[in-house]
Chains A and B, each alone.
Chain A
Amino acid sequence: MALFAGTFIGYFVGAMPGLNPTLGISLLIPFTFGMKAVPAMVLLTGLYMACEYGGGITAILINTPGTSAAAATALDGYPLTRQGKAGKALGISMISSGIGNFLSTLLLIVSAVPLASFALKFGGPEYFALAFFGLSIVSSLSMDNMLKGWTSAILGLLLSCVGVDKIDGVSRFVVSYHFLGGVPFVPAMVGLFAISEVFILFGETEEKGTVGYDGIVSDLPTAADIKFTMPATLRGTLIGYIVGVIPAAGANIASWLAYNDARQRSKRPELFGHGAIDGIAACESANNAAVSGALVPLLTLGIPGSSAAAVLIGALTIQGLQPGPLLFTRNPEIPYSIFAAFLVGAPLMTLLGLYCAKFFAKVTLVPRETLAFSVLGVCVLGTYALDNSIFGVWVAFAFGVLGYVMRKCDYSTAPMVLAMVLGQMAEYNLRLALLMGKGSFMIFLRRPISLVVLALALFSFVAPLWKKYRTKAKESKA
């Protein structure tokens, strides 16, 4: 019962931009006061899981990532919708989410205890390496035009400098106290993706008709599609799970890393960004697997692997349970009921999602003007709800305008969003690592994990450039 309720609410929360899993869990906590610990935790974790499913729906249908982890899903999902294949995109998203979730839960059951110590190995240098790796994805995101891609990313990095600096506590570009915590990320993302899309839709209203094509929108993916995306899904699951385990890296980074990985392995990378179903499969399986991953440090060490998991810790405390190293021995019913809920929940959610996908896909048959206005309404509501303040709405609009201009000038907004996610993480951890290393960069090379990740990052930076160079060389020869 609790699982069903959590699932339904989770779908909704996930699909609403601005309502992220953290907020959803927070809002639901007061309702769990009167409940017993087990149903309460099942309800909340069910919601957490369903959020990551729901986030993909709006990302695909209206280019509005419902959660920040679904930003990468929008890159390929929305183009598919515009090609009239919304049903296929949604179906793939649901199936890969389900597989990601189910398999990662199995991984969680088997490997939670040994992986706990791995999670602790991440300090400043390792997090910097990870953020740097994430940023390197800009290279492959902007295969079409390196200069424009990096311009967009650097703009994002500059924006991520706003706010109170986390090392010295100096206020940087804090125009009003609203910016003390930096440029609020979710409104910015909603603006760049969704509101700019609304403006573009408004521009197209003379063209009659709808966003998708009639007739084929509700076609679900075929068995061949599923088979085709399977490798991407499996790799996405693994990446998502591992990144989820690392305490200060969550579904956000996982989905980008998985997307990048799928693109580099794909036989037709040129399709990415224009509707590649394996791109959707990779990031959706990754952001769902990250949820299970985040539970590893939560259940074994009492350390949250994501901000949503941090709120879950609060919920456990309110139940009178102390999450931490003693949870497994003192209250084994809690982790085991969460495992069970996930294993039962994953297929349930996938079936529910597939069943509903046909109806969801019909959204694309709504006339453009109506759709544009509804999306705008949802965006305003969501960004306001984020912390009950109109400030977020203005930020979203400002970024909407910026996004519109960028897209009209053929600058992709995705590198900017990515840079805003990772900018603060990269800067903070770089400086923390340098403090730890007494000012010497050698600390990055002396620690094995940071060394390996940095090497991967370097490869990921250079590989797309190299590929481009080679194709050019071939062309000139021919």
Chain B
Amino acid sequence: MKALKVTVKFRKVLLFVLLSGLCLSLSGVARAAFPEKPVTIVNSATAGSPTDVLARQIAHYGEKFLGQPMVVVNKPGGGGGATFAALLTEPSDGYTVASINASQITALQAQLKKDFSYDDFEFICSTQLDPYAVAVLADGPFKTAQDVADYAKKEGTVMIGGQGTGTGHHLMILRFAQLGGFDVTWLPYQGGADSVTNLLGGHVQVIATAPATVNQYVEAGQIRIIAISGEKRLEFFPDAPTFKESGYDIVMTIYRGFIAKKGIPAPVKAKLSSTIKSAMEEPGFQEFVKKSNQMIDYMDSDDFAKYAKRDFDQMAEMMKLQQQ
């Protein structure tokens, strides 16, 4: 009985040795063809949030084009720090990439400056590009961006709220105030829904927000959008003018996209970028995006890198404005 056990054990060991040898030799042969194992996507969004679901949908539809599954792992927290740390502990072979947004990249020159650097990363491709919006109560006194500026000049200041301090929302409003030549009191709220609550409750007259957050309130006639920070008007809100149309030279957007650790081989980067592009063109994915009211916007590696750099520098400039 005992002898039998030993042999079984021995056989298992032998099998393991043989198998691992086989695996090693296989991986040696196949090194040229990326990918030979699943790709991990570290996601900075919390599990179940709309942006997380979007990344999971891309992973789902991308599998067909990549030939390997893409696994989404959530590392929220630390203002993006947790995701950056997870990405940087892995080798730069393209088997670990991260899904991030513009504000986390911006944080690299603020809160995250001492832990990470912008130059630690490379940009693979973008998936979303949204403008910001300035919203007011539909039955309130403000009809245009100019009304807000005039009121502020008359009263000495105007209270405007929105998500966080030093965020895109905040910096956009600071720029608006600078160009309009008025003073603003910024009320930093704790998120999109919080901003809307405060606006609807009459605790603040003007908010900066993401267009999708106020979508339904605009439709229900409770909230009006008086300015959009994009290049052109939005499909959803054809009546809302851009800042440019209103005479303010503000163009700001927030992107979401995929990044890799610096040093990722160029062909691997190209493969990942084209996989994500193909995934986003799938009919099933398109239907999901439409159903969930999200806006998608693909940029390839070069365009995205340029765009992100410009955004990063613009933010640096505006942060100086904030500190004044």
Interface size on A, residues (CB 8 A): 55
A303 engages B197 (CB within 8 Å): yes
A367 CB–B CB distance under 8 Å: no
A315 engages B48 (CB within 8 Å): yes
A403-452 interface (Cβ within 8 A of B): 428, 432, 435-436, 438
B274 CB–A CB distance under 8 Å: no
A317 CB–B CB distance under 8 Å: yes
B77 engages A169 (CB within 8 Å): no
A173-220 interface (Cβ within 8 A of B): 174, 176-181, 184
B291 CB–A CB distance under 8 Å: yes
A387 CB–B CB distance under 8 Å: yes
Interface size on B, residues (CB 8 A): 49
Q: Mark B145-183, 1 if CB is under 8 A from A, else 0.
A: 000000000000001000011100000000000000000
A83 CB–B CB distance under 8 Å: no
Contacts of A171 in B (CB 8 A): 111
B165 engages A318 (CB within 8 Å): no
- Contact A26-B47, Cβ < 8 Å, known A124-B203, A325-B220: yes
B76-125 interface (Cβ within 8 A of A): 76-79, 81-82, 85, 110-112, 115
A436 engages B159 (CB within 8 Å): yes
A375-420 interface (Cβ within 8 A of B): 387-389
Closest Cβ–Cβ distance, residue B169 to chain A (whole Å): 12
A310 CB–B CB distance under 8 Å: yes
B193 engages A325 (CB within 8 Å): no
Closest Cβ–Cβ distance, residue B318 to chain A (whole Å): 13
- Contact A304-B185, Cβ < 8 Å, known A123-B198, A387-B77: no
A178 engages B78 (CB within 8 Å): yes
Q: Mark A68-93, 1 if CB is under 8 A from B, else 0.
A: 00000000000000000000000000
- Contact A303-B159, Cβ < 8 Å, known A26-B48, A177-B85: no
Q: How far is the CA of A428 from the CA of B115 in the complex (A)?
A: 26
A304 engages B193 (CB within 8 Å): yes
A27 CB–B CB distance under 8 Å: yes
A387 engages B48 (CB within 8 Å): no
B200 engages A301 (CB within 8 Å): yes
Closest Cβ–Cβ distance, residue B115 to chain A (whole Å): 5
B180-221 interface (Cβ within 8 A of A): 185, 187-188, 190, 193-194, 196-198, 200-204, 215-217, 219-220
Find the B residue at minimum CB distance from A315: B48
Q: How far is the CA of A315 from the CA of B47 in the complex (A)?
A: 11
- Binding stretch for chain B, among A147-155, A160-168, A332-340, A342-350: A160-168
Q: How far is the CA of A179 from the CA of B47 in the complex (A)?
A: 20
Contacts of B50 in A (CB 8 A): 314, 317-318
Q: Mark B37-60, 1 if CB is under 8 A from A, else 0.
A: 000000000111110110010000
A178 engages B215 (CB within 8 Å): no
A120 engages B201 (CB within 8 Å): yes
Closest Cβ–Cβ distance, residue A385 to chain B (whole Å): 11
Closest Cβ–Cβ distance, residue B7 to chain A (whole Å): 35
Contacts of A436 in B (CB 8 A): 159, 187, 203-204
A29 engages B77 (CB within 8 Å): no
Find the B residue at minimum CB distance from A123: B203
Partner of A388, one of B73, B79, B115, B185: B73
Q: Give the A-B pair count, Cβ closer than 8 A.
A: 141
Q: How far is the CA of A229 from the CA of B193 in the complex (A)?
A: 38
B75 CB–A CB distance under 8 Å: yes
B314 CB–A CB distance under 8 Å: no
A389 engages B82 (CB within 8 Å): yes
Closest Cβ–Cβ distance, residue B50 to chain A (whole Å): 6
A325 engages B222 (CB within 8 Å): yes
Contacts of B25 in A (CB 8 A): none
Partner of B78, one of A180, A317, A320: A180
B79 engages A432 (CB within 8 Å): no
A4 CB–B CB distance under 8 Å: no
The residue in B49, B53, B85, B166 that gathers the most chain A C-beta atoms within 10 A of its C-beta is B53
B53 engages A310 (CB within 8 Å): no
A293 CB–B CB distance under 8 Å: no
Closest Cβ–Cβ distance, residue A175 to chain B (whole Å): 11
B78 engages A181 (CB within 8 Å): yes
B292 engages A318 (CB within 8 Å): yes
A326 engages B194 (CB within 8 Å): no
Contacts of B220 in A (CB 8 A): 324-326
Partner of A317, one of B111, B188, B200, B292: B292
Closest Cβ–Cβ distance, residue A294 to chain B (whole Å): 12
- Contact A27-B47, Cβ < 8 Å, known A167-B165, A248-B194: yes
B111 engages A29 (CB within 8 Å): no
A121 CB–B CB distance under 8 Å: yes
Contacts of A119 in B (CB 8 A): 197
Partner of A123, one of B53, B77, B110, B201: B201
A180 engages B111 (CB within 8 Å): yes
Find the B residue at minimum CB distance from A178: B78
Contacts of A124 in B (CB 8 A): 187, 203
- Contact A169-B164, Cβ < 8 Å, known A120-B197, A326-B216: yes
B278 CB–A CB distance under 8 Å: no
- Contact A167-B78, Cβ < 8 Å, known A27-B47, A120-B201: no
Contacts of A326 in B (CB 8 A): 216, 219-220
- Contact A166-B165, Cβ < 8 Å, known A30-B56, A303-B196: yes
Contacts of A264 in B (CB 8 A): none
Q: How far is the CA of A29 from the CA of B50 in the complex (A)?
A: 11
Contacts of A221 in B (CB 8 A): none
Closest 4 CB pairs of A and B: A26-B48, A177-B81, A324-B216, A123-B203
Besides the known contacts A166-B190, A178-B78, A303-B193, 18 further A-B residue pairs in the complex with CB atoms under 8 A apart: A26-B48, A29-B47, A30-B56, A120-B201, A121-B201, A123-B201, A180-B81, A180-B111, A314-B50, A318-B291, A322-B215, A322-B216, A325-B222, A387-B75, A387-B82, A388-B75, A389-B75, A435-B185
Residue contacts A-B, CB under 8 angstroms, 7 given: A26-B48, A166-B165, A169-B166, A178-B78, A318-B292, A319-B291, A436-B204
- Residues of B whose CB lies within 8 Å of any CB of A are 46-50, 52-53, 56, 73-79, 81-82, 85, 110-112, 115, 159, 164-166, 185, 187-188, 190, 193-194, 196-198, 200-204, 215-217, 219-220, 222, 291-293
